[in-house]
Amino acid sequence: MAAAVMHQTMLSATEGYADHGPHVPAHAHPRAERLRWQPYTAHVDRARELRWTCACRLVMYFLVVGGGRAWVRCERRRHVLAQPEVTETEPMLYPDAGRLWERILLGRAR
């Protein structure tokens, strides 16, 4: 019997506190995928942050959705009180963004 392939068309929101999420490993895996980050731009009128990493770190990641696409936003701070440098990946399909999010959380993409 063939296994059914399920296509994910929606990403679900995270559970937990607004400023607390998982911690990303401080050091990436030695063979981590190098992502192409670009400066922040407004992709859509109403982007929504579905998931995020812990705000206690100087680098925070967000899984963002809007306009039928998803992307990852990265906020890097030099120190706690500094304004963040905000960069993003290209918008992509939900399943691709979900897999990228998982690789980032495991330290396999940066």
For the chain, the domain total comes to 1
Residue 92 located in a structural domain: yes
What per-residue confidence (pLDDT) applies to 42?
Answer: 87
Residue 3 located in a structural domain: no
Residue 16 located in a structural domain: no
* Band of residue 7 on the pLDDT scale cut at 50, 70, 90: very low
Residue 67 located in a structural domain: yes
What per-residue confidence (pLDDT) applies to 27?
Answer: 84
pLDDT tens per residue, range 14-55 = 555 566 788 888 888 899 999 999 999 887 989 999 999 998
pLDDT tens per residue, range 57-98 = 899 999 999 999 999 999 999 998 899 999 999 999 999 999
The whole domain housing 56 covers 38-105
What per-residue confidence (pLDDT) applies to 21?
Answer: 82
Query: Are the beta carbons of 12 and 98 closer than 8 angstroms?
Result: no
Q: How far is CA 100 from CA 2, 12, 40, 45, 49, in A?
A: 27, 15, 18, 23, 15
Residue 4 has pLDDT above 70, yes or no: no
- Which of 74, 76, 66, 79 minimizes the C-alpha distance to 100? 74
